[in-house]
Amino acid sequence: MTKIVIDTKGSDKGASVVIKGAAKALEKHPGLSVLLVGDKELIEQECSALNVPVDRVEILDAPDEITNYDSPAEALFNKRNSSMLKALSALSERDDLVGMISSGNTGVLLAGSMRYLSGKVRVRPVLAAVLPAQSGGFTCLVDTGATIDCNSDMLHHFAKLGSDFMKSMYCIERPKVGLLSNGAEESKGNKLVKETYPILAAYESLNFVGNIEGNNALSGDCDVLVCDGFAGNQVLKVTEGTATRIITDIMKYAYKTQSDEIKKLAMHLMSIYDISSLGGGIILGVEKTVIKTRGNSGEDAVVNTAEMLLNMAENKAVFDKEKYKNNI
When mean pLDDT is compared across 59-63, 121-125, 204-208, 305-309, the lowest value belongs to 121-125
- C-alpha dihedral over 178, 108, 71, 22, to 10 degrees? 120
Nearest to 117 by CA among 91, 152, 86: 91
pLDDT the model gives residue 325: 59
Give this prediction's pTM: 0.89
Computed over every residue of the chain, the mean pLDDT equals 89
**Contact (CB, 8 A) for 177 and 139:** no
Q: Which amino acid is at 58?
A: E
| pLDDT tens profile 222-237 | 999 999 999 999 998 8
Taking only the tens place, the pLDDT of each residue in 17-48 is: 999 999 999 999 999 999 999 999 999 999 99
> With 80 as the cut, is the pLDDT of residue 286 above it?
yes
Q: Flag whether pLDDT at 168 surpasses 70.
A: yes
Domains of the chain: 2-123+285-327 (3.40.718.10), 127-273 (3.40.718.10)
Average pLDDT in the 76-84 region? 93
pLDDT (average), residues 55-73: 92
Rounded to whole angstroms, the Cα distance separating 69 from 266 reads 37
For residue 319, what pLDDT band results from cuts at 50, 70 and 90?
low
Decide if 253 contacts 262 (C-beta within 8 A).
yes
Question: Distance (Å, rounded) from C-alpha 271 to C-alpha 240?
Answer: 12
CA distance 326 to 328: 5
**Percent of the chain whose predicted confidence (pLDDT) is above 70:** 93
Residue-wise pLDDT for 212-222, tens only, equals: 999 999 999 99
Q: Which residues contact 300 (CB under 8 A, 6 or more apart)?
A: 21, 24, 276, 277
Q: Are 291 and 281 in contact (CB under 8 A)?
A: yes
Q: Cβ of 128: how many Cβ atoms within 10 Å?
A: 26
| AA letter at 86 | K
Q: Looking at the chain, how many residues does it have?
A: 328
Q: Is the separation of the CB atoms in 37 and 8 below 8 Å?
A: yes
